Amino acid sequence: MFATGFVNVYTLDIEAGLRFYRDLLGFRETFRTPTDGVPEHVELELNGFAIGLGTVEAAKRVHGVDATPGQPAMVLVVWADDVDVAFEELTAAGTPVVQPPHDTGNNNRNALLRDPDGNLVEIVSKRA
């Protein structure tokens, strides 16, 4: 009945969102509309995991949704080779920090940050 899943993240500034997800986290852009000018929707993929970035204006116009980015109703988790290295690169680029890298259960090391709209993004890796 169902084939696959997809996460769409609403954004107030899609260009800032692209710089974060594409340029800093390494997601690859696979689709955008419109193709010319500033997009209102962009789809990105990272090793088989797909997300979309959609503007709050498009959410209202197309779906009748009043999107409120930055409310901590969810967290987007991205696995990294080394949380400490990823954390340094992201914070050097100005990414806001919620929690610096710390050891958690299951031999994991996690850091919690915010994307340009204030949405929670958790970077995780296995401890060496």
User: Can you name the CATH fold of 7-126?
Assistant: 2,3-Dihydroxybiphenyl 1,2-Dioxygenase; domain 1 (3.10.180)
Q: Check residue 6 and give its pLDDT.
A: 86
Query: What string of pLDDT tens digits covers the 128 residues of the chain?
Result: 666 778 999 999 999 999 999 999 999 999 999 999 999 999 999 999 999 999 999 989 888 888 888 887 788 999 999 999 999 999 999 999 999 999 998 899 999 999 999 999 999 999 98
Domain boundaries, given as residue ranges, for the chain:
7-126
Gap between the Cα atoms of 56 and 41, Å rounded: 10
DSSP symbol at 90? H
